[in-house]
Structure 1
Amino acid sequence: MEAVKNIISIDAEVLGGQPVFKGTRVPVETLFMHLEQGVSLNEFLEDFPTVTRQQAVSVLELAEKLVTSKNIQKLYEAAA
């Protein structure tokens, strides 16, 4: 899996520091919002051509690792 810093960028000058796909102005949250609405990954990539398939897949892999971690309780506590 690719390093988070190579996938996601957080910069106060870009969308007020919202996490975006590195090298773009597309918020990472947008991917999850589209998927929640039933939009396919291919459609998302068509709508946001500056995001590469590898970037999107890497974010999904990262999310999967986070929510299936054996230390998920620590993650919940940190996020609260």
Structure 2
Amino acid sequence: MNWQDHIVSDNQVLLGKPTIKGTRISVELVLELFSAGWTEKQILESYPTVTAESLRAVFVYLKEFIKDPFCKFIL
């Protein structure tokens, strides 16, 4: 999966935080929801603009970021 198809950073949206493309839903929010015990189904039902594929892209993005912390500047 190419996370760049789903995760973007725009200085005009949430001060440039990585977000799910076409939304104002940040990678940070998705992680907060999962860490609070939300399921994928709950997130998808609560945020209809988010897809299962874009949720998976969040984790691919994080994996790449952990491997190379400078990748965030590639957005």
Question: What's the TM-score once normalised by structure 2's chain length?
Answer: 0.76
Using CA pairs below 8 Å that are at least 6 residues apart, which structure has the higher relative contact order? 2
CA deviations 1:9-51 (Å, max 9, x no partner) are 1111111111110111111111110110111011011111111
Segments of 4+ moved more than 3 angstroms: 64-67
Gaps of 5+ in 1: none
Q: Which runs of 5+ in 2 are unaligned?
A: 71-75
Whichever of the two has the greater Rg, that structure is: 1
Corresponding residue number in structure 1 for 2:73: none
Q: Which residue of 2 aligns with 1:26?
A: 25
Q: How many angstroms apart in 2 are the aligned matches of 1:62 and 1:56?
A: 10
Deviations 1:47-79 (A, max 9, x none): 111111111012223334555xxxx5xx47x6x
Aligned length: 70
Q: What TM-score comes out, normalization by structure 1 length? A: 0.72
Percentage of matched positions with identical amino acids: 30
CA RMSD of aligned residues (A): 1.9
